[in-house]
């Protein structure tokens, strides 16, 4: 009888490996086809997107106060009297909104951020105000992903944001004294803002801002016959009484003035209820540009106080906030009583500026001209005179020109110039 030959078995660990592979494959199959994926349960829209499901998400309706920031921030004691509407766009909000949240807005109780479409910045919801019913009334097309990808779409849609935003601001905050709309690249020195408006009665019809003229809106076909309007960048400010009266006709205005841009739209709509632009705030430091090297509006008196600056980069917004945050009369420690003046602002913005610059000078007429041989002598001469704030040494003529105005430098061959920063200070305190 032939004996059967015993089959040689492989090592046991080989069978263990094969078994583990089979089990892993089964688990993967069940997980992929049979169980819900993690993304199926996520309901919140992404931080930066035109999200079709954003309307299904419950908005963070806490006056749009940043949840994390406001845990440590102290509100200004008068901020409950005001509502600030901040106009932004989905393509710029992630770059501009955070620095406003982290600086002056954190000290204000009522803030309503609005955009062309719903968008989140961290935990903070920004309201999209261009809804279907509004687009229909205005004869506009709703936003599409293709439009969103175009540059500056937010700016082009500005005219369409004002009407629905104003209605929402009134609906959500019907009892505040003052309603203000600013841009997302604007900084407000709220202490100065509050000081000015605290002397006005919100139950009277006031329409404040930085004055501009327009054409092509309503019956105003040229700048010559145009009324003044409040420029939106530095702030459109309405008293409670003016806002209330405007709300009675705003639905008619949106159809009647649908070709108007947003800030001009406010002006012509208010004219229909006999409310005209008021110049009073225009004379109190509303600036279209940031206080940088090219700024032309430093007042002769450094004790004057600015209210608003527009067209700011995030780093410039931070610097403006630091003037208050780092000031010895810090608003957080002094009960918000101190109002930042131009002297303090100038000193902080120019603290890293070199003592002198080659090839730079000034075009304004000199206050005085002296004969000197070096730039060092010219600077020393300016330091001795308290009225001198800028100096310029002209090497070829061996002369020193001194000036009291603070103005931008220009290119001048063979010149050397500088600023005596501590000569532009307010000495009241």
Residue with tokens 């803002």: 193
Question: Is the full-model pTM beyond 0.85?
Answer: no
Give the confidence band of 18 by pLDDT, cuts at 50, 70, 90: low
Closest CA to 51 of 119, 152, 103: 119
231 in a structural domain: yes
Choose the final residue of a domain: 217, 252, 283: 283
> What's the confidence (pLDDT) of residue 402?
96
Please indicate, yes or no, whether residues 113 and 231 belong to a single structural domain of this protein.
yes
> What's the confidence (pLDDT) of residue 285?
92
Boundaries of domain holding 416: 357-423
Q: What is the pLDDT of residues 108-138, one digit of tens each?
A: 999 999 988 888 888 888 988 876 555 555 5
Interval 250-279 mean pLDDT: 88
| 25 Rama class: left (phi>0) / alpha (psi -120 to 50) / beta | alpha
Domain CATH for 386: 3.50.4.10
Choose the final residue of a domain: 283, 310, 343: 283
> What's the confidence (pLDDT) of residue 163?
85
93 in a structural domain: yes
User: Rounded to the nearest 5°, which phi and psi values hold at 44?
Assistant: -80, 140
Please indicate, yes or no, whether residues 255 and 115 belong to a single structural domain of this protein.
yes
Please indicate, yes or no, whether residues 95 and 226 belong to a single structural domain of this protein.
yes
Please indicate, yes or no, whether residues 277 and 383 belong to a single structural domain of this protein.
no
Total number of domains in the chain: 2
Interval 24-37 mean pLDDT: 42
42 in a structural domain: no
403 in a structural domain: yes
% of the chain exceeding 70 in pLDDT:
73
144 in a structural domain: yes
pLDDT of residue 25 exceeding 90: no
164 in a structural domain: yes
% of the chain exceeding 90 in pLDDT:
51
344 in a structural domain: no
pLDDT of residue 161 exceeding 60: yes
Interval 63-82 mean pLDDT: 62
347 in a structural domain: no
Indicate the average pLDDT of the chain: 79
Window from 41-55, 95-109, 336-350 with minimum mean pLDDT: 41-55
């Amino acid at each position: 009888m032939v004996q059967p030959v015993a089959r040689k078995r492989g090592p046991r660990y080989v069978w263990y490996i094969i078994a583990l592979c089979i089990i892993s494959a089964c688990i993967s199959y069940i997980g992929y086809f049979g169980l819900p994926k993690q993304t199926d349960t996520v309901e919140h829209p992404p931080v930066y997107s035109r999200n079709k499901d954003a309307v299904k998400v419950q908005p963070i309706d806490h006056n749009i106060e940043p949840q994390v920031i406001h845990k440590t921030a102290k509100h200004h004691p008068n901020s409950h009297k005001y509502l600030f509407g901040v106009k932004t766009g989905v393509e710029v909000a992630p770059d501009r909104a955070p620095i406003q949240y982290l600086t002056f807005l954190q000290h204000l109780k009522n803030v309503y951020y609005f955009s062309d479409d719903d968008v989140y910045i961290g935990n903070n919801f920004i309201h999209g105000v261009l809804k279907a019913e509004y687009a229909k009334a205005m004869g506009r097309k709703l936003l599409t992903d293709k439009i969103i990808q175009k540059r500056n779409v937010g700016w082009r849609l500005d005219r369409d944001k004002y009407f629905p935003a104003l209605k929402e601001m009134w609906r959500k905050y019907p009892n505040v004294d003052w309603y203000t709309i600013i841009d997302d690249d604007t900084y407000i020195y709220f202490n100065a803002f509050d000081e000015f408006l605290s002397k006005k009665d919100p139950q009277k019809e006031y329409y404040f801002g930085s004055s501009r003229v327009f054409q092509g809106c309503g019956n105003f076909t040229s700048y010559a016959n145009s009324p003044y309007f409040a420029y939106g960048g530095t702030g459109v400010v309405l008293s409670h009484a003016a806002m209330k009266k405007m709300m009675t006709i705003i639905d008619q205005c949106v159809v009647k003035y649908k070709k108007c841009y947003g800030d001009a739209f406010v002006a012509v709509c208010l004219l229909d209820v006999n409310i005209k632009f008021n110049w009073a705030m225009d004379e109190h430091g509303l600036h279209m540009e940031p206080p940088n090297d090219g700024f032309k509006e430093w007042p002769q008196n450094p004790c004057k106080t600015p209210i608003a600056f527009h067209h700011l980069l995030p780093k410039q917004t931070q610097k403006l906030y630091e003037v208050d945050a780092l000031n010895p009369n810090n608003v957080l420690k002094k009960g918000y009583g101190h109002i930042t003046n131009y002297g303090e602002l100038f000193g902080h913005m120019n603290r890293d500026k070199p003592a002198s610059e080659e090839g730079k000078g000034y075009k304004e007429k000199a206050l005085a001209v002296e004969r000197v041989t070096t730039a060092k002598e010219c600077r020393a001469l300016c330091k001795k005179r308290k009225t001198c704030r800028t100096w310029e040494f002209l090497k070829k003529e061996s002369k020193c020109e001194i000036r009291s105005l603070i103005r931008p430098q220009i290119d001048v061959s063979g010149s050397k110039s500088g600023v005596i920063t501590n000569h532009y200070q307010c000495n009241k305190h």
